[in-house]
Amino acid sequence: MAGGTSVAAEASPGSQGGPVWGLTVEHRTDPLGVDANRPRFGWRTRSATRGWSQGAYQILVASSPDKLTPSRADLWNSGRVSSSDSVAVLYKGKPLRASTRYHWTVTVWDSEGRKTGSAPPAVFETGLLSTDGVTGWDAAQWVGMKGKTPNSSGAPMLRRQVALKKRVREARLYVSALGVYEAYVNGRHVTVPQDGGTTIELLPPGSTNYDARVNYMTYDVTDLVRREHADVTLGFVLGNGWYNGRISDGSTYYSADGNALAVKAKLLIRYADGTSQTVVTGPDSGWKATDTGPYRADDIYDGQTYDARKELPGWTAHGFDDAAWSDVERVAFDDKFPDAQLLAYPGETARFMHRWDRRPQSITVATGVTGQDGSPNGRGRIVVDPDRTVTDPAKAASASVTIAGGETAMFDLGQNMVGVARYSLRGPAGAKAEFKFGEMLNDDSAGADGPEGSLYRANLRSAKATSTYILKGDRHGETHQDSLTFYGFRYVSVTATDTVTITGLTGKVATSAIREIGTVTTDDPDINQLASNIRWGQRGNYLWVPTDCPQRDERLGWTGDTQVFSTTGLYNVDAGVFLSHFQDTVVDSQSIYGMDKAQYTGLAPTGRFNFPAGGSGWADCGVILPWTLWQMTGDATVIDRNWPSMTRYLDWIQEQTGDTYAGQGSITGDWLAPQKTSAQLMSDVYYGYSTRLMAQMARAIGRTAEGEAYDRLFGRIRQAFITKYLSTEDGTVTVKSSLGDASPIEPGSDPDQKTEDNSQTALLWVLKLGFYETEAQRRTLVGHLADNIGNDAAYKAAHPNSIRVRYAENTLSVGFLGVNVLAPVLTDEGRADLAYKLLYQDELPSWLFSVKNGATTVWERWNSYSKEDGFGPVGMNSFNHYAYGAIMEWMYAYMAGIARDPDSPGFKHFVLQPRIDPTGRITQVSGSYESPYGEIRSEWKVEDGGRVLAYDAVVPANSEATLRLSAVSADAVREGRTPLTRVDGVRLLGHKDGMASYRLPSGRYHLTARLR
């Protein structure tokens, strides 16, 4: 097997049994290719002693395991440091060398000075520790196939065979591409460790602004090189990826005539006698290339064409005759973009996750179309062959199906997912099979694009999303999966030019969200399905960058979607490094595409669909994402690194709007909201929000004076907002959210629909930011919000011109910029009952509307589809869009009750605040989250007819929590028979409005509380 970007990418830190565990470097376990001169160390502790906390630590770093002692540590002995820190502790030892493995451990003492223990030794390995693409690369160059015309048929395939000199001790492969690559060593696909085995990456090295940065990967290929003692053979297949596909249109590096694809690689071989050898890419070093192989065409949007008749058996192994192949040539990327950096990819790569493979739930064979004349949309319905149709999921998972020309086989995988299909088939040589991908099947509604039961593809817009396979005619069968593209799909339709038999099909899930660290489950199956839909949406859209959708001609890193979902994303998945890397890309895009090199862009990377100004809500991701990462991980490095960029953005807004203290404007506004809010108001609140976050971050990194300046700026923005938007006419307070138009570019919206006062999103943000003057105003605004949501007959009668008259009672009416604040604000304002009612609603618009209508991921629109009305507006209608899944942040923080404390980032101190469902529909919730200090658990169950709450919690060692629990009195909360107020280490904070509050030290708790 081969190693990859991490020695133990999926190894759970909790699998170690000692008191000091979970060692990380740069937030990864035993990582390869660390590109930091001062890496960040982290660890966790465990103790059966309640209230245990760390009092000191000592880190040792050495060049070999036998030197991991205080007297022999030759890189760093931190000495005994009196501190409870165990997150992002900076290395302060001797300079690190490139391509070197280091060993380290940490010893911990408790707060009483007693030695707790030492962690089992861990390792990390540096990368090339350079950014210029020269240092450490041993003269490796970007090379491509000589004479290859960009965009011509055939993917470049490059190989080189080199004699080995001695017995190999270890080998590392460093590789990057302009485009994407598959890498082979000695005939074996280079893999990465996963789930105790190995797996293949999809589309490395991922997506960046190529004129700013390109990533390289590091692989441990020792086992692959050792397989052949005489020679080593390297092979690469190059695809267009994000560099030279339609997706890059509009980028500064885009060329309508195409960009030459290239690879840059270095194989470092270390021999047992201490000597070494390198094999690098270069034009005069024996590399050969061809484009005559089976990879005929590839594009992110359109799919891949593979002609198995053109396979070249053995081309990746030694002994293959490449005499007829072309030479390679240097690709002059460095000349065109001399400032572009070549950097080690800092996180876990996008890869196939075998445990999430999906097998068919049903197979339908269609032989034609009938009923056009009598169907509502004139498209008819497919004619199903019952003899070849399989509806039993157990049988469909492994069934074979034979189709002739003109027939279609439809595979339903039961889950909207992202990746590729792995399929096996038999048929004559030259037969062409087309596998088309889609998220939905057509109904008979006006929005359908084909006969009922056929594959719906209108929402893909111009994306062809087709895997084309030309058979070689192997009578034993043929198996293939695409490697140079990806698809978003639940359904796969198959047609062929000749009779073929599909003997198997599997949906192969690919994602960068590989380690899930949080769960919320309830006793309500609909809510559990919603949580599953959110999780699958994240898996699908966290692919190298956090994308908006994975299926149509977009698949881009929209920053608004990213920022509203980021807290949910970090609860669900260990995604801190992934999102930090994206933030680096956001900063690159600011300088490349942003107005005045200061405005953050609406998406990153690339220039496709970027809007130059008016980006509030999306542009603010550049501030909100670092703040969120700091809050969730406890690592303030992200603030330091991004501070110049963030201040440039805020200064730029001030230059644009001056002493009006208004936002820069927003052309997207509260995107896809049923009730329209002034886009300028949304810009103004986001200006205030970003300013408030800047004040908090400034203080976190010791910039006290700047923090005070941002506090003053926030105060001025607040006052300007109140003066403009808060009306006290007619004896009540009104948020004038009708002052200005909504988004001018939102597709599918009614051009005659007006913005409204007291819109849900406007009220939510006013309450969240405190943009009011008195408590009486606040209470009135909460009442307005409750009335809007309640939407009863009296409200509708009083607001006959509101869009709300079209919708049911207890429905939401927010878009992208209101969805993540809706339930939290309601709960904070004492209306958890409304938050729960909204959660349970399944009429339009609501979260469960999609669940009721068969969704397995979150939709882009509240009305993307309904069984009654069919498909929503096709211009912007993704069935896998995670933004509305931001409700899961509330499910973690309020429903389960695992909430961060803004004053103690990283869950060093956190809040346990389970909010019991006032409606009584949910009576049991279980939540867990693997914080930087260990697993937090919060589980509650209402018993004895609603009179008693049973509550279990785990507070990790070296952290503490504030517990807020519903109870009739402080003494009504008990551990066993003992009132919690009398338990050692627990401190009562008070009892108010039916809520008892305590300070809990670390430990496990099984509590009961009398509710009435």
Convert the pLDDT of each residue in 792-815 to its tens digit: 999 999 999 999 999 999 999 999
CA nearest neighbour of 451 among 507, 392, 375, 511: 375
Backbone angles phi, psi at 799, to 5 degrees: -130, 65
411 neighbors 482 (Cβ within 8 angstroms): no
In the sheet that holds 898-900, the strands lie side by side as 898-900, 909-912, 960-966, 995-1000, 987-992
Does pLDDT of 842 surpass 60?
Answer: yes
Give residue 876's pLDDT. 86
- What would the pLDDT profile of 813-832 be if each residue is shown by its tens digit? 999 999 999 999 999 999 99
623 neighbors 647 (Cβ within 8 angstroms): no
907 neighbors 957 (Cβ within 8 angstroms): no
Give residue 16's pLDDT. 53
SS3 content of the chain, % helix, strand, coil (to 5): 25, 30, 45
Does pLDDT of 454 surpass 50?
Answer: yes
How far is it, in rounded angstroms, from Cα 823 to Cα 789? 11
Torsion sign across C-alpha atoms 440, 446, 452, 457: negative
953 neighbors 937 (Cβ within 8 angstroms): yes
How far is it, in rounded angstroms, from Cα 286 to Cα 185? 16
For 197-294, where are the E strands, in sequence order? 197-199, 213-220, 231-239, 262-271, 276-280, 288-290
How far is it, in rounded angstroms, from Cα 699 to Cα 482? 49
Q: Which amino acid is located at 481 in the chain?
A: Q
Backbone angles phi, psi at 694, to 5 degrees: -60, -40
How far is it, in rounded angstroms, from Cα 690 to Cα 622? 9
Torsion sign across C-alpha atoms 571, 577, 578, 580: positive
Give residue 229's pLDDT. 67
742 neighbors 675 (Cβ within 8 angstroms): no
Query: Any residues with CB less than 8 A from the CB of 22 and at least 6 apart, and which?
Result: 13, 14, 16, 29, 42, 43, 44, 934
425 neighbors 471 (Cβ within 8 angstroms): yes
Query: Any residues with CB less than 8 A from the CB of 257 and at least 6 apart, and which?
Result: 150, 151
Does pLDDT of 715 surpass 90?
Answer: yes
76 neighbors 90 (Cβ within 8 angstroms): no
Query: What average pLDDT does the segment 308-323 reach?
Result: 97
How far is it, in rounded angstroms, from Cα 363 to Cα 389? 6
Query: Any residues with CB less than 8 A from the CB of 104 and at least 6 apart, and which?
Result: 23, 25, 41, 59, 60, 61, 62, 68, 121, 122, 123, 124
Mean confidence (pLDDT) of the chain: 96
At residue 12 the predicted structure's pLDDT band, cuts being 50, 70 and 90, is very low
- What would the pLDDT profile of 216-269 be if each residue is shown by its tens digit? 999 999 999 987 668 999 999 999 999 999 999 999 999 999 999 999 999 999
At residue 875 the predicted structure's pLDDT band, cuts being 50, 70 and 90, is confident
For 848-908, where are the E strands, in sequence order? 865-866, 870-871, 898-900
10 Å Cβ neighbour count for 731?
Answer: 6
550 neighbors 543 (Cβ within 8 angstroms): yes
- What would the pLDDT profile of 474-488 be if each residue is shown by its tens digit? 999 999 999 999 999
Identify the burial level of 37 via C-beta atoms within 10 angstroms of its C-beta, where 0-12 means exposed, 13-18 middle and 19 or more buried.
exposed
Which of the two residues, 741 and 348, has the higher pLDDT score?
A: 741
Q: Tokens in use for 599?
A: 């405005």
Helices (H) and strands (E) in the chain, counts: 17, 55
DSSP lists the bridge partners of residue 895 as none
How far is it, in rounded angstroms, from Cα 75 to Cα 96? 8
701 neighbors 636 (Cβ within 8 angstroms): yes
Tell me how far the alpha carbon of residue 458 is from its chain's centroid. 26
Identify the burial level of 796 via C-beta atoms within 10 angstroms of its C-beta, where 0-12 means exposed, 13-18 middle and 19 or more buried.
middle
Give residue 614's pLDDT. 83
Does pLDDT of 6 surpass 80?
Answer: no
Give residue 69's pLDDT. 97
**DSSP state at residue 806:** G
- State how far the alpha carbon of 395 is from the alpha carbons of 401, 408, 508, 826, in Å: 12, 19, 19, 48
- State how far the alpha carbon of 877 is from the alpha carbons of 529, 844, 940, in Å: 21, 16, 38
**DSSP state at residue 894:** I
SS3 761: helix
10 Å Cβ neighbour count for 583?
Answer: 23
Does pLDDT of 692 surpass 70?
Answer: yes
At residue 1 the predicted structure's pLDDT band, cuts being 50, 70 and 90, is very low
At residue 441 the predicted structure's pLDDT band, cuts being 50, 70 and 90, is very high
SS3 393: helix
819 neighbors 839 (Cβ within 8 angstroms): no
Indicate left, alpha or beta for 282 from its phi (over 0: left) and psi (-120 to 50: alpha): beta
Q: Between the CA atoms of 787, 793, 794 and 800, what dihedral angle is there, to the nearest 10 degrees? A: 90
- Would the pTM count as exceeding 0.75? yes
Backbone angles phi, psi at 323, to 5 degrees: -60, -30
CA nearest neighbour of 28 among 4, 9, 15: 9
User: Which ranges of 658-801 does DSSP label H, i.e. alpha helix?
Assistant: 679-700, 704-725, 760-769, 775-790, 793-798
Query: Any residues with CB less than 8 A from the CB of 675 and at least 6 apart, and which?
Result: 756, 759, 760, 761, 788, 802, 803, 804, 813, 814
DSSP lists the bridge partners of residue 466 as 303, 436
Does pLDDT of 15 surpass 50?
Answer: no
- What would the pLDDT profile of 724-754 be if each residue is shown by its tens digit? 999 999 889 999 999 999 998 888 888 889 9
- What would the pLDDT profile of 540-567 be if each residue is shown by its tens digit? 999 999 999 999 999 999 999 999 999 9
- What would the pLDDT profile of 38-69 be if each residue is shown by its tens digit? 999 999 999 999 999 999 999 999 999 999 99
Q: Which amino acid is located at 132 in the chain?
A: D
How far is it, in rounded angstroms, from Cα 794 to Cα 779? 20
